[in-house]
Amino acid sequence: MAKRQNKKVFRLLRALALELKDLPFETHKRIDAIVNDKHDGYDYNWVGIVDWWRNKVYG
């Protein structure tokens, strides 16, 4: 069960990585801020990034 779940997570991360490589620099800055927990006046969170990506991919 866990192995199957890991496979799904890996596929999602790989798809996300492929999508991210073509994003504009501003988006990379936002993701960098999330990963490194930086705060420059914007409210960054993973849910917002994932929702944005989901809308971009699935319309």
pLDDT, one tens digit per residue, over 32-59 is: 666 666 555 555 566 677 777 777 777 6
Q: How many structural domains does the chain have?
A: 1
Residue 29 lies in a domain: yes
For residue 45, give both structure tokens.
């969170």
Say if 6 falls within a structural domain. no
In a domain, 52, yes or no: yes
Q: What is the DSSP letter of 37?
A: T
pTM higher than 0.75, yes or no? no
pLDDT at 24: 66
Cβ–Cβ < 8 Å for 34, 48: no
Residue 51 lies in a domain: yes
Tell me, yes or no, whether 9 lies in a domain.
no
41 secondary structure, DSSP code? S
**37 in any annotated domain:** yes
Task: Name the residue range of residue 48's domain.
Answer: 23-59
